[in-house]
Structures are given as structure tokens and as C-alpha cells.
């Protein structure tokens, strides 16, 4: 072989080798599934201590990954918390400090609302945009709740919107985007969409931001699971203590015990709102909510089964968490002197031993479950006491994926990979 031919052959082999290595490297990029549940309290899961709700898929992932005891949302309501996850910034920095739509001014407030944003800021480079720039297929399914189409901030595909019923028809928003038939359950159909995206993108790295609307109200469990928990409830011993307690808001004035007793006896919504007190659920015994929790657990189980079927389970990072604490107090005021069915439709669960509920800055309103599954990198069945909050996911995932940090963007976040 002539020297020139030998040189060309060697060059071709080197280029072929480099191309092959680049393809292997691209295929080796870990996938990411961010499994975000709405209004799920830390204590609503078996591995965090629930004795009523059954969550075998979540519990199994905790056995195979790491459970965090001290994970917190950056806000006690949804939109600011969700924005923190995608931007790596605290709500006060972006000025997105309230759920979008927001609540009206109240007569008892000494200060009116300050100026605040009504959508995710355009100038933010979201986690989705960053991963997209690095070759990831990106999808957002469920409750984005940032007042914008997620495809405008880094997602290739999005099926999002509000839910009016967990049974078809879910809401006009989903008529064309989430085909369903009579009897179909929303959580199941949203999971179908996520699985379809995984199937279609199995040969490239993907980021699925699955923002389940569950377990937000309307509190409607899947019928077969509700029946299961109705049977279970009849076999359980009686739980001691009150079903509900009347509690002052944490940012309101202290109320002496005698006055609180009077307010308990006078269960009047106008009086209670003026006095800034609220009924808080003390027991986990809501069969409708239990059906929602287990349906959401099944969703995680189905997604993990699909990853295993496709041979992707060892190359996929899964983060499981919630946007804020559990809805132990009603989203819309409801006194306790109502039939059990009505109460079950208004009050989701109990956060005990954590105090309070979603919407409050007590632990029950801001402490959330967090389980991280990172095959080959995390010791199985481990627990961390590290303090983690919503701003931290952005830099953490970049470090996990060996991508460059963006400190000017996720300025408030700290990677918890060392934990």
C-alpha cells in the first residue's frame, strides 16, 4: 500500500472511530424524568409514614434510591414553586410570588398586594431550554400553571391545562390534546401521554417534566381504588383525637384558647375568615383522596416499567417530589358540620405530625417528599437529612448530567449532588 493510501485509510479509520464514539456518548446521556405531584404532603406516602394510603411504586423507588427528610418547596402555593424548579431562582427574585390567577384583596389585610408578575418571565433560561440546547427531547405534561404555553420556554411538546373533572371530559383544554373516552381517568391518560413520548424518543436523551394535576382538587379518586379504601377504612381501628381543629394562620395574630373555643362553636365562614382561622384536617381517612394517591403511585410504576421494557431504567434519573405541602385545609372555605361526603370533597388529607396546610408557612405547607433515583450513583435504600429546596434542582441536574453550570441563571440554587 502506498504511503498516501495508508494515510487516507488511517485518517478514515480515526474519523470513523470518533464518529462512533460520539454516537455512543450521545446515547449514553442520562434521561431525566421529573415527576412532580400537585399538593402532595410529605406524610401522604407510605415510606414517609402514612398508614392509610398505599404507595408501593414510590416506596420501591425509595428502597432503590435516596429519600430526603428535609426537602422544601420555595413557596406554600404552586406557581412560584414551579417557577423556582425551572429557573433556579426564589420567587422574590423573579417577582412571581403567588399562584397565577391569584386571590383577591381581603378587608382584613393591612397591606395591599405589591406589584407582581403574572407569567413566567421571558428572560429566564429555563431548565428545559438548557437541556434542549444540549440535545434533549423535552416534554411537559399536566399542570404547568405559569400562564404560558410550555413550548415557549423550552419544551418540544406540551399537554397542559386545568382539570375540572378527573373523569372524561376533563376540561375543554384537553378536548384535542388528550383524547379520552367516557370512564377514562385523567391521571391514567396523562401517564399514557408520557409513556408515548418516552417510546418515541427512546433512541435519544429526553427530559419529561410530568406535572401531575393530581392530587389537587377536585378530590375525585378512581372509582375502583375508592372502593378499595372504603373497605380498608372499615377494618382500621378508630383514630383518637379530633377529626378537624380550628387553627389561626401563621402570619395572623395569636388567638387565646377561650376565643378559639367560641369560634369552633360558631362555625360561620364569614366570621372565621374575618378572624383568620381555618379548619385543618387531622386524620388520613379520606377514601376519595386515597384513590387519587394510589392512581398517581401507579403512574410512577407504569413509567418505570416502560423504562425497564426499553432497557432505559439504568440510564434514567428520576426525581419525585411535590410543589407544596398537603391540602389539609380546604381551598374553598367549608365548615366541618357537613356530611362526610362533602368534607371528603373539600379536605384532602392530614399533614400530621407536621403543622398546618398548603397556603401556610408552617411545615405542613412547605415540607415536601423528595426521592431521587440515580442508578449506579446512589446507595440503595439511603436517607439524607440535607436541606433541599426547589431552586436546587436546576444546578443539581446539570451536575448529574455533566453539563456546564449556569450560575447567573440558577443563582439561588445549590447542587445537592454532594448529599
Q: Which domain CATH number covers 97?
A: 3.40.720.10
Average pLDDT over residues 151-170: 96
Per the structure, the count of domains in the chain is 1
What confidence tens digit (pLDDT) does each residue in 177-186 have?
999 999 999 9
Please indicate, yes or no, if residue 278 is contained in any of the structural domains. Answer: no
Tell me how far apart the alpha carbons of residues 368 and 95 are, in angstroms, rounded to a whole number.
Answer: 23
- Closest Cα to residue 209, out of 35, 370, 396? 35
pLDDT grade, residue 249 (50/70/90)? Answer: confident
pLDDT of 111: 78
Average pLDDT over residues 113-137: 93
The residue range of the domain holding 56 is 29-103+125-237+284-327+350-400
Q: Which residues pair with 382 in a beta bridge?
A: 66
What confidence tens digit (pLDDT) does each residue in 394-408 have?
999 999 999 999 999
Residue 304 burial (10 A CB sphere; 0-12, 13-18, 19+): buried
Average pLDDT over residues 301-329: 97
pLDDT of 276: 86
pLDDT of residue 108 exceeding 80: no
Average confidence score pLDDT of the chain? 92
Please indicate, yes or no, if residue 9 is contained in any of the structural domains. Answer: no
Average pLDDT over residues 263-269: 89
pLDDT of 2: 64
Please indicate, yes or no, if residue 335 is contained in any of the structural domains. Answer: no
pLDDT of residue 17 exceeding 80: no
Please indicate, yes or no, if residue 376 is contained in any of the structural domains. Answer: yes
Could you say which DSSP state residue 263 is in?
Answer: H
pLDDT grade, residue 15 (50/70/90)? Answer: low
Q: Is the peptide bond between 215 and the residue preceding it cis, with omega within 30 degrees of 0?
A: yes
What confidence tens digit (pLDDT) does each residue in 341-365 have?
999 999 999 999 999 999 999 999 9
Pairing label, strands 244-248, 277-281:
antiparallel
Buried b (16+ CB within 10 A) or exposed e, 75-103: bbbbbbbbbbbbbbbbbeebebbbbbeee
pLDDT of 9: 64
Please indicate, yes or no, if residue 254 is contained in any of the structural domains. Answer: no
CB 36 within 8 A of CB 128: no
pLDDT of residue 158 exceeding 60: yes
Please indicate, yes or no, if residue 140 is contained in any of the structural domains. Answer: yes
CB 379 within 8 A of CB 66: yes
Please indicate, yes or no, if residue 407 is contained in any of the structural domains. Answer: no
Please indicate, yes or no, if residue 380 is contained in any of the structural domains. Answer: yes
pLDDT grade, residue 190 (50/70/90)? Answer: very high
pLDDT of 18: 54
Instruction: Read off the pTM.
Output: 0.91
DSSP-derived secondary structure for 92-113: HHHT--S-TT-PPP-TT-SSPP
Tell me how far apart the alpha carbons of residues 89 and 245 are, in angstroms, rounded to a whole number.
Answer: 35
pLDDT of residue 26 exceeding 70: no
Amino acid at each position: 500500500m502506498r504511503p498516501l493510501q495508508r494515510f487516507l485509510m488511517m485518517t478514515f479509520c480515526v474519523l470513523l472511530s470518533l464518529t462512533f464514539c460520539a454516537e455512543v456518548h450521545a446515547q449514553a446521556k442520562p434521561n431525566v424524568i421529573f415527576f412532580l405531584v400537585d399538593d402532595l404532603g410529605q406524610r401522604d406516602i407510605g415510606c414517609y409514614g402514612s398508614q392509610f394510603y398505599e404507595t408501593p411504586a414510590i416506596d420501591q423507588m425509595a428502597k432503590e434510591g435516596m429519600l430526603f427528610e428535609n426537602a422544601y418547596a420555595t413557596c406554600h402555593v404552586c406557581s412560584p414553586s414551579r417557577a423556582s424548579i425551572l429557573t433556579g431562582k426564589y420567587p422574590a427574585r423573579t417577582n412571581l410570588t403567588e399562584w397565577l390567577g391569584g386571590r383577591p384583596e381581603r378587608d382584613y389585610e393591612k397591606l395591599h398586594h405589591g406589584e407582581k408578575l403574572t407569567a413566567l418571565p421571558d428572560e429566564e433560561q429555563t431548565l428545559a431550554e438548557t437541556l434542549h440546547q444540549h440535545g434533549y427531547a423535552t416534554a411537559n405534561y399536566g399542570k404547568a400553571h405559569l400562564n404560558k404555553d410550555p413550548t415557549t420556554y423550552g419544551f418540544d411538546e406540551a399537554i397542559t391545562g386545568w382539570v375540572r373533572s378527573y373523569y372524561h371530559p376533563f376540561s375543554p383544554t384537553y378536548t384535542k390534546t388528550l383524547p379520552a373516552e367516557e370512564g377514562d381517568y385523567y391521571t391514567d391518560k396523562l401517564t399514557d401521554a408520557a409513556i408515548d413520548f418516552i417510546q418515541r424518543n427512546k433512541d435519544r436523551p429526553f427530559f419529561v417534566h410530568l406535572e401531575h394535576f393530581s392530587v389537587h382538587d377536585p378530590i375525585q379518586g378512581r372509582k375502583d381504588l375508592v372502593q378499595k379504601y372504603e373497605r380498608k377504612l372499615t377494618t382500621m381501628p378508630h383514630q383518637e383525637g379530633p377529626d378537624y381543629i380550628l387553627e389561626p394562620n401563621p402570619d395572623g395574630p395569636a388567638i387565646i384558647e377561650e376565643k378559639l373555643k367560641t369560634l369552633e362553636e360558631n362555625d360561620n365562614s364569614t366570621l372565621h375568615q374575618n378572624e383568620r382561622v381555618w379548619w385543618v384536617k387531622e386524620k388520613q381517612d379520606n377514601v376519595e383522596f386515597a384513590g387519587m394517591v394510589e392512581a398517581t403511585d401507579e403512574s410512577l410504576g407504569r413509567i418505570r416499567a416502560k423504562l425497564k421494557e426499553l432497557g432505559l431504567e439504568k440510564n434514567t434519573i428520576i426525581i419525585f417530589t411535590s410543589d407544596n405541602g398537603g391540602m389539609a385545609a380546604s381551598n374553598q372555605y367549608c365548615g366541618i358540620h357537613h356530611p362526610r361526603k362533602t368534607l371528603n370533597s373539600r379536605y384532602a388529607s392530614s399533614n400530621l405530625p407536621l403543622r398546618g396546610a398548603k397556603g401556610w408557612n408552617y411545615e405542613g405547607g412547605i415540607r415536601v417528599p423528595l426521592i431521587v433515583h440515580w442508578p449506579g450513583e446512589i446507595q440503595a435504600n439511603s436517607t439524607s437529612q440535607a436541606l433541599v429546596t426547589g431552586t436546587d434542582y436546576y444546578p443539581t441536574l446539570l451536575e448529574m448530567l455533566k453539563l456546564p453550570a449556569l450560575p447567573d441563571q440558577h443563582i439561588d440554587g445549590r447542587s445537592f449532588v454532594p448529599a
